[in-house]
Amino acid sequence: MNWINAIIIAIVFFTLIILITRECYRFRWLIPYFKTSIRYRHQSYVNNMDKPVDIYIAMCDHYRPFSGNVSQEIAELRVVTWCREYERIARQYTDSSGNHPVHTIFYSESDYNPYFLDTIARSCRNGITDVEILIDHNRDNPINFKRKIEEYRDVLFHHHGLLRKDDQGKITYGFVHGKWALDNARPDGRWCGVCDEVSILKETNCYADFTYPSAPDITQPPIINSIYFTHPSQKRPVSHENGTLIKSGCWNNSSLLCIQGPLVIHPNAIFGLPVKIDRGEIGFRNEFSRKRMDKWLQRAPQIEGISSSIFIKLYTAGMVDQTIRYLFSESGLNQFWSFLEQCYNDGEHFRIHYVSAWGMYNKIHQLCNEKSAINLNT
């Protein structure tokens, strides 16, 4: 029986090793997180600035009308309610330039419905909504993924008047990967299957990826709280786990720009846990608060060499019924925008700018190289 006990012990030992290794992989972003110093402490920071700090806010919605496998009627009610209520509330608020908040809908290709997109397109023409691409897929292959992207991109542009062309006359789009599994980021290969996704995104004229952060999900890359260029590689997956941080005066047209949202650890006991990981989501489980905004400002990405501009990419799942109810309540978007305009839009220390995902990309491009103007062909 000794040999049986030895086998059992060995199995338990190697299982523990696998589990520990997996968890270490999941939290590899913690080392760069603690190495990165907090950017500033509000007043002490702005007192050293000779001009106001510009805060660019983009809300990116992982938009799945049929989330939860609901019926056509419920999905339609979600979309119609969203378009009506969002415009009603957004019209009440303006940033430092007099612009209303803009909501970027990353519409899932698997939830495609022409009537829904035509409804959203009308909201886009009113200037308070924009549409980009979200892809949910599993065990896919490069040929099928490229075909899916190109067909969906062209349908959005030619049939619904969405997306836009760049200065080369090509349709361009922003991207979010479903389940955060960009470039086959999961070790088990689920929710993707394509190891050269970054290359395909560049080939199909994606202007930037907005997928991350995803922590504590295992797909979280070790690069955090950053805007950076990742270099496409057809030889290995997870190209986006390596890259070059964006700098003033530098631009790389051959690489894919990754615009991350803030990733923050709140050292507070919540539901018995010592900390809470905040990845910039606003929803019924992650309500907005002043404390969260302060932390986002401390960790939000900047362009190296330009300290007067901060980019905060937030996200929501706007087609979850509880989130719809929360966002359109007094404690939701009303509270969020009111707080921004009251506390961070005085014109002396801070200026708020509401931008779409495209608008954020465009501003980053212009700040990096003022000589490289972008034509907004919409």
pLDDT tens by residue, 226-249: 999 998 766 677 889 999 999 998
Q: What is the pLDDT of residue 19?
A: 41
DSSP for 43-108 reads: HHHHTT-SSPEEEEEEEEEEE-TTTTT--HHHHHHHHHHHHHHHHHHHTT---TTSPPP-EEEEEE
Q: How many Cβ atoms are within 10 Å of 122's Cβ, its own excluded?
A: 12
Domain membership flag for residue 30: no
Domain membership flag for residue 54: yes
Taking the mean position of all CA atoms in its chain, how far away is CA 167? 24
Domain membership flag for residue 13: no
Mean pLDDT of 49-59: 90
Query: What whole-number distance in Å separates Cα of residue 18 and Cα of residue 179?
Result: 23
Domain that holds residue 146: 36-368
Mean pLDDT of the chain: 88
Domain membership flag for residue 373: no
Q: Mention every residue, 6+ apart, whose C-beta is less than 8 A from residue 151.
A: none
CATH code at position 90: 3.20.110.10
pTM attached to this predicted model = 0.89
Q: What is the CA radius of gyration of the chain?
A: 21
Q: What is the pLDDT of residue 12?
A: 44
Query: What whole-number distance in Å separates Cα of residue 298 and Cα of residue 269?
Result: 21
Query: What whole-number distance in Å separates Cα of residue 287 and Cα of residue 155?
Result: 35
Q: What is the pLDDT of residue 48?
A: 54
For 169-328, where are the alpha helices, taking DSSP H only? 197-203, 290-299, 321-327
pLDDT tens by residue, 127-173: 999 999 999 999 999 999 999 999 999 999 999 999 999 999 999 99
> How many distinct structural domains can be found in the chain?
1
Scored b (16 or more CB within 10 A) or e, 325-355 reads ebbbeeebbbebbeebbeebbeeebbbbbbb
Domain membership flag for residue 17: no
Domain membership flag for residue 128: yes
Domain membership flag for residue 70: yes
Domain membership flag for residue 26: no
